[in-house]
A and B are shown apart, each in its own frame.
Chain A
Amino acid sequence: MAEAPTKPSVGDIWRWLEDAPDPEIPVLSVVDLGIVRAVEWRGETLIVTVTPTYSACPATSVIALDVEAMLRRRGIADVKIETRLVPPWTTDWISEKGREKLRAYGIAPPEGAVCAGAAKAAGARIACPRCGSTNTEEISRFGSTPCKASWRCKDCLEPFDYFKSF
């Protein structure tokens, strides 16, 4: 009846996931991004529940593969990645640590909390991640990945990515 002594605790697994990078923004871990919703043992099977950021984010399937491979390297043979749509992911779930990492990486983190139905960041003051100025403007509502918009700083004149509030 006794469980194998090697079976790691859920807390250990959460700590390991904190080192599992997002494939498109590698400074962020999947935990920083808020896409790991649950970690649990079902018998001898480890279930990791993830939620997609955008419906079509190409990173989602890579993330599932990476997480599974990492846990296998840690010696967990029986891993299952489950996907859950509800409640839908929002940038509000990006951790404070994650926001700081984004800024240091050169991506302006999402500004303000997401209100239901208000996709427009009307009047939002987005700070340039390079010089900190809020004298910035939107170039395009879309960017190099589904989660980003293209902005420009009018003081240091650098273009930058904004992780859009969503």
Chain B
Amino acid sequence: MSDAALEEFALRMGDNCLILGQRVSAWCGYAPALEEDIAMANVALDLIGQAKLWLALAGALEGKGRDADALAFLRDARAFRNCLLVEQPNGDYGQTLMRQFLFDAWHVPMLEGLAASREERVAAIAAKTAKEAAYHRDRSADLVIRLGDGGEESRRRMQTALDLLWPFAGELLAADETEARLAGEGVIPDLADIAKKWTAFVEPALEEATLVPPKDAPVRKGGKQGLHTEALGYVLAEMQWLQRAYPGATW
């Protein structure tokens, strides 16, 4: 197995968690109810903890002495490997929940598959974090169903969020060359299998939520190769400015 492919994959896992964690953390102090505020802060915290594990592995594989902090705070947008879905703006609360739901529905089967990886460092992180992802998915699916199958206004907002975000989900579900190679080596699961599990979870939940995915939507991708939407630059500007302005600053 090539270390470069594994490093690339660890960056993708870590950057997905980091960017989504940074996005979700922006609700801290602003969520529509106290319980939701606490939930958002906890989900963000879990994701940033998970990002730290993956990015530490990526840094170790790279072997140039970069730790998780260096990778998080000192890379530019083109070096980030997260999917486009997680960098999309928070929008209203419905949009934030829909983004979380589409991501969690992928994250859980992916981590469960990775827990059986032949690469033991990958398996260890996946086994540790899969339970946390499952806890997130229980909540995001529950809220998507309640708000979709809720009042007229909440249903309208959830459908708008689904129309907006659906095209970004495909990137998580299709393997590129790196992932196909790692799957062939037994390091990561086959993404076609993950896509089936994703669909088996998402379809009935959306049906219960009375929401309809857009037909013939294009797949918007590129994040895994470092080609991001405009949105990522704003996330990084906010997340990285302190370390950029005051290099090496600590608490």
Q: Which residues of A contact B (CB under 8 A)?
A: 52, 54-58, 85-88, 117, 119-120, 139-144, 146, 150, 166
Q: Are A146 and B39 in contact (CB-based, < 8 A)?
A: no
Contact for B52 among A56, A119, A142, A166, CB less than 8 A: A56
Q: How far is the CA of A58 from the CA of B44 in the complex (A)?
A: 13
Residue-wise interface mask of B (129-148) relative to A, using a CB-CB cutoff of 8 A (1 in contact, 0 not): 10110110011000000000
Closest to B40 in A: A142
Residue-wise interface mask of B (104-123) relative to A, using a CB-CB cutoff of 8 A (1 in contact, 0 not): 00000000100000001001
Q: Are B38 and A142 in contact (CB-based, < 8 A)?
A: yes
Contact for A119 among B53, B112, B134, CB less than 8 A: B134
Q: Are A146 and B45 in contact (CB-based, < 8 A)?
A: yes
Q: A88-B128, A141-B138 are in contact. Are A56 and B38 (CB under 8 A)?
A: no
User: How many of B's residues come within 8 Å of A, CB to CB?
Assistant: 29
Q: How far is the CA of A85 from the CA of B56 in the complex (A)?
A: 13
23 contacts between A and B (CB under 8 A): A52-B128, A55-B49, A55-B128, A55-B129, A56-B45, A56-B52, A57-B49, A85-B53, A85-B128, A86-B127, A88-B128, A88-B131, A117-B134, A119-B131, A119-B134, A119-B138, A140-B36, A140-B39, A144-B38, A146-B42, A146-B45, A150-B38, A166-B131
Q: How far is the CA of A87 from the CA of B129 in the complex (A)?
A: 12
Closest to B21 in A: A56
Whether B231 sits at the interface, judged by CB under 8 Å, is: no
Measured between beta carbons, the chain A residues less than 8 angstroms from B45 are: 54, 56, 58, 146
Measured between beta carbons, the chain B residues less than 8 angstroms from A146 are: 42, 45-46
Which of A57, A86, A87 neighbours the largest number of chain B CB atoms within 10 Å of its CB? A86
Q: How far is the CA of A87 from the CA of B46 in the complex (A)?
A: 18
Closest to A122 in B: B138
Besides A119-B134, A119-B135, A141-B135, 20 more A-B contacts (Cβ < 8 Å) are: A54-B46, A55-B53, A55-B128, A57-B49, A85-B127, A86-B124, A86-B128, A88-B131, A139-B35, A140-B36, A141-B138, A142-B35, A142-B38, A142-B41, A142-B42, A142-B43, A143-B38, A150-B35, A166-B131, A166-B135
Q: Are B38 and A55 in contact (CB-based, < 8 A)?
A: no
Measured between beta carbons, the chain B residues less than 8 angstroms from A52 are: 128
Q: Are B35 and A85 in contact (CB-based, < 8 A)?
A: no
Measured between beta carbons, the chain A residues less than 8 angstroms from B131 are: 88, 119, 166
Q: How far is the CA of A150 from the CA of B135 in the complex (A)?
A: 15
Q: Are A87 and B127 in contact (CB-based, < 8 A)?
A: yes
Whether B50 sits at the interface, judged by CB under 8 Å, is: yes
Q: How far is the CA of A52 from the CA of B230 in the complex (A)?
A: 36
Whether B125 sits at the interface, judged by CB under 8 Å, is: yes
The smallest C-beta distance from B143 to any residue of chain A, in angstroms, reads: 10
Measured between beta carbons, the chain B residues less than 8 angstroms from A58 are: 45
Q: How far is the CA of A140 from the CA of B135 in the complex (A)?
A: 12
